[in-house]
Structure 1
């Protein structure tokens, strides 16, 4: 008996109802997963319980143990390999119009006006650096790393601040290196950063004089003169830039006056630090030296 497409066979009503019920249950299950962060859940006594595999806890515990060991080793001995690279220079191909690094082998970038510049690969010889936190903390983050990040005023992801380079701060930066990226900035980059993302931390008194809440106010010359002229002698934003680039006795007051900079994430995000890393791969974290200006331009 040949099949006639003009006369399709009828599907039983029971099969159609079963298919409709399965589709409805599948859609409801997908909605529940989406609402709970794509994690399987079930209800017990009216409470939602999340299901997590034991391997997840084991991996996080291993990461926490390895992070604690690294922190203690670096805090005691420091990064000896980094000190040997003092003064090392790398060549980079930059776009003349934007100043951002481009790939010289990329065919699409052949029409771009490029220039080759020499940059220091580390910031050991600079009096101050700018640090940005690129990883958020979780249960696998050691407590001593969290304390060090709080000491650097890097409490949230994609927050940045200026750090004066001394032995204590240098050791803190090295201990938190997998979570941050830092380097030296030029005067033009600092000026652009303050103009676009600069905010001041001004204390505003509440109902009682004893209560003073910090308020985030856009940075300008008037704010600087009103709150820093008496204590530090800074009367404009240019004085703040000079104090940041050449730290003096008023660097701590000026730096605390600036609210931590809230930056945007780079396209594609930063790569995560793993135990088995390729030796010739360039990491997205750590000391970038003079190339920090290119990273910061992508985040502004």
Structure 2
């Protein structure tokens, strides 16, 4: 019990630090947007593009193929997670997009659908599955494969929805941008893994901080661009609060759905854990760079990523609590196999 509490506290410490930095970056962007805008003196448009490429290079170099092979055998779990990530989630997003388009601005709703079309997150899904004593190889496989699938599927889903709404999104250009800025660096990282994989494994803290640093820079630059364009004056605070509430409701709906369906399908608790965590989470690490590529030059980029930012913070907090509860329940089950909360 004390070990679980200690692990949870460490996770919260990391989350809180990241949240504070993110909030500080947004606050600075709102107060002094000219400095950090894409065309400002810091040239963050170029800096963040290079940072994104380097992040995915590091992801590729750090990915162990042995771990993927170890988790590849449980096909029912994989189908479940990918179906929720790329079928159920986008369907919910499309329903919200269509039903609320007369109530909320199009850019905000597009951001909600973008959230729904993103891949699952890797690091926190695996960490929380481990904390909850679940199927860690299965979590590694699904979270990683989800990210790879998302590089192709997310732009296609976004292109279809944007085209259906009457706007224009050059899908070929978007896919090319993803291939050049995400897939190519990732593939190069995989090729160089035998040379630098061990070095990176010994320096995970550095790579994790760099990853988060790039995310903060992109968020900062996006909010600077939105502020410089006068975007925040176009919407009332109630509208933005509504989207934040929508992201919260979405999280609890999907968490409930993944839990219920996994149990109805008879998943053992070890598989239910990654099914719930991988099937409900959305990746900030993939989403922010992808938004920068898909919506390049869009003045409302800050609004488009707002639902993702809210959802990301909520999923970390809520799923941390769930992981602790799963771990305690698993302990009870080992003493009494008939017990299942």
Q: Please state which structure has a larger fraction of its residues in strand.
A: 1
Relative CO higher for 1 or 2, CA cutoff 8 Å, sep ≥ 6?
2
TM-score range, shorter chain: under 0.3
Taking structure 2 as the reference length, the TM-score comes to 0.23
